[in-house]
Chains A and B, each alone.
Chain A
Amino acid sequence: MTAETPIPSTVTSSSTAGPQVTIAPARPSVQGQTLAAAVRETAIKVRGFSSWYSSFQALKSLDLEMHAKHVTALIGPSGCGKSTFLRWINRMNDSITGARASGTLELAGVDLLSQSLDVVDLRRRVGMVFQKPNPFPKSIYDNVAFGPRLHKVYTRAELDELVEQSLRQASIWNEVKDRLRASALSLSGGQQQRLCIARAIAVGPEVLLMDEPCSALDPKSTLAIEELIETLADRYTIVIVTHNMQQAARVSDHTAFFFEGHLIESGATEEMFTRPKNKQTEDYVTGRFG
């Protein structure tokens, strides 16, 4: 087993010091380009991060930075550890017996691997969208209201407004506004997935994790989700795992290529797809393997 890399001190880097703003205002689109370049705040910082399932090492000493209000795509062949990594960011791996991790994983300066971390609070800040749409067998309204109701007490009017806002942000409001009381399962797969995004947004997260959110959807629904991801990037830090290279190229600002538990290469998506530095990355993004 590889030796654990020394854990760097956690509160030094100037870029991560200070708490992240909780609900971020939309990025002004007028000067979007220049501002986007300027506001390269690191939202998630990864240093020497390794993880295990019992004795199997799934991730090997990763170093990576994910920028606030940008889309980071994690690509790589099946079993390369990208989903495992994603599930560490909101600690979904806690429920897997034998799963453990070492190194640094920080969200806005907060150590995500700490034993004393309040996981409920973390998951309020880090939402997740799954591979297969998993709406609860409840009404559309109750699906979106589920998360908020867990954490706060709302008046009827407040909740109505929050539900509408979330559905609007997830670009599904117009399709469901007349049937909020209908079962979420009456929606199509693509609508269900956007509902799940609305459900995640409703809690007011800073980060959205998406685990192959389009792999169970048809091309048209996939396109709708991809467009949605682009608009959401104005407000949220998005980390998306995808098998689809074109998708990574289309939606992400940054791409990280995983292979057999190693982070092979990461950088601006354009660079990664046009001028990859690593031979393995080049082979993968050009479809020579994987």
Chain B
Amino acid sequence: MLGRQKSVAARTLRERLIVAMLALAATFSIFVTGTIIVILTKETLGFFAFPDVTLGEFFGSFEWNPLLGSEKHFGIWPLVSGTLLVMAIAASFALPIGLITAVYLSEYASPRVRSVLKPALEILAGIPTVVYGFFALTVITPMLQKLTPAFGSYNAMSAGLATGIMVLPIVCSMSEDSLRAVPRSLRDGAFALGGTRFDVSVKVVIPAALSGIVAAFLLAISRAVGETMIVPLAAGGIAQITANPAAEVQTMTAYLVQIFLGDAPATGVEYKSSYAVAAMLFVMTFALTMVGQWTLRRFREEYD
């Protein structure tokens, strides 16, 4: 026999080490998430421990005014409203355009067109968000102002559109992936029944890929909710409840930026309030994920 027998002990040890390392890596993200939740909870409780803050005011008041004036107000809804407004604008821009682009890339475009369009979208995904913020402030806002003078230099529309452009590649490339994952045999079946390309795309491929498309939508919306660089630059800093896209709004993330960039002393109630806002943001994105999971289970068309 050629060759020297390898040590069984060494092999066993090596396998054990590898398993331990894999488990460690897998645990790490759970550990980080756990830590974040613990800190958020602790600091949020600290915020509500202040004598002039109550849970009733946090959810019952419609005024958010922690920094200026003699009387501070901590009603969360103006920040939630600003966040939802920007999110809605971003979503109503990015979701349809992203899905249409994905359908075009997956079902219509020739390989040559795709080889140009896909990298272009990926470049879009690589642009730092601060650049989008500048783009919103210096390009989108002036364009909106040309359209109608109702738009101020800070407005929700501009921030929402820039955020929409930012999440467009997420919607598009994730949707496209799930469209392309639909087996060719389903398309063949629909074509063989006399379906046009549009019939096949809309009645067979999109329904079959729906779970992936919904996942793409939700990830994009979560990103839009959590967007932190575009909104302070383009949407402004006035926390108010409004559905007017031309108005200046403050989002939850924009408030956090304002606080952590040093507008408040690190011990004061204003500073602590940011943790409560962050906890609220966390709850919102968590709820979005849950709704998403539920939608997936409810509407899923599984193939194979």
Contacts and interface: CB of A to CB of B under 8 A. Distances in A.
A258 to B, nearest CB: 21
B195 interface: yes
Given A137-B207, A138-B207, A150-B199, A203 B185 contact: no
A127 B193 contact: yes
Instruction: Find the residue from B194, B196, B208 having the highest chain A CB count within 10 A.
Output: B194
Given A136-B208, A138-B207, A185-B302, A147 B186 contact: no
Contacts of B183: 134
Given A137-B207, A137-B302, A185-B303, A150 B193 contact: yes
Nearest to A137: B301
A146 B190 contact: yes
Interface in B182-219: 183, 185-186, 188-196, 199, 203-204, 207-208
Contact of A121 (B191, B194, B304): B194
B303 A127 contact: no
Interface residues of A, number: 27
Contact of B193 (A138, A183, A200): A200
Contacts of A203: 193-194
Interface in B165-194: 183, 185-186, 188-194
Contact of A196 (B189, B199, B203, B303): B189
A183 B195 CA distance: 21
Given A134-B186, A147-B193, 19 more contacts: A95-B191, A120-B194, A120-B195, A124-B193, A124-B194, A128-B192, A130-B185, A130-B192, A136-B190, A136-B204, A137-B207, A137-B208, A137-B301, A137-B302, A138-B207, A146-B203, A150-B193, A150-B194, A203-B194
Contacts of B192: 90, 92, 123, 127-128, 130, 200
Contacts of A132: 185
B206 to A, nearest CB: 12
4 nearest A-B pairs in the assembled complex, by CB-CB distance: A147-B193, A137-B301, A128-B192, A123-B194
Given A137-B207, A185-B302, A185-B303, A120 B196 contact: yes
B194 to A, nearest CB: 4
Instruction: Find the residue from A92, A127, A132, A146 having the highest chain B CB count within 10 A.
Output: A146
A178 to B, nearest CB: 22
Contacts of A120: 194-196
Nearest to B111: A97
For the complex, would chain B's binding face be called helix, strand, loop or mixed by DSSP majority?
helix
Interface in A121-177: 121-124, 127-128, 130, 132, 134-138, 146-147, 150-151
21 contacts: A95-B191, A120-B195, A123-B192, A124-B194, A127-B193, A128-B192, A130-B185, A136-B190, A137-B207, A137-B208, A137-B302, A137-B303, A138-B207, A146-B203, A147-B193, A150-B193, A151-B194, A185-B303, A196-B189, A200-B193, A203-B194
A169 to B, nearest CB: 16
Contact of A134 (B189, B194, B207): B189
A199 interface: yes
Contacts of B208: 136-137
Given A121-B194, A137-B208, A147-B194, A92 B188 contact: yes
A92 B194 CA distance: 10
Contacts of B199: 150
A42 B273 CA distance: 84
B185 A136 contact: no
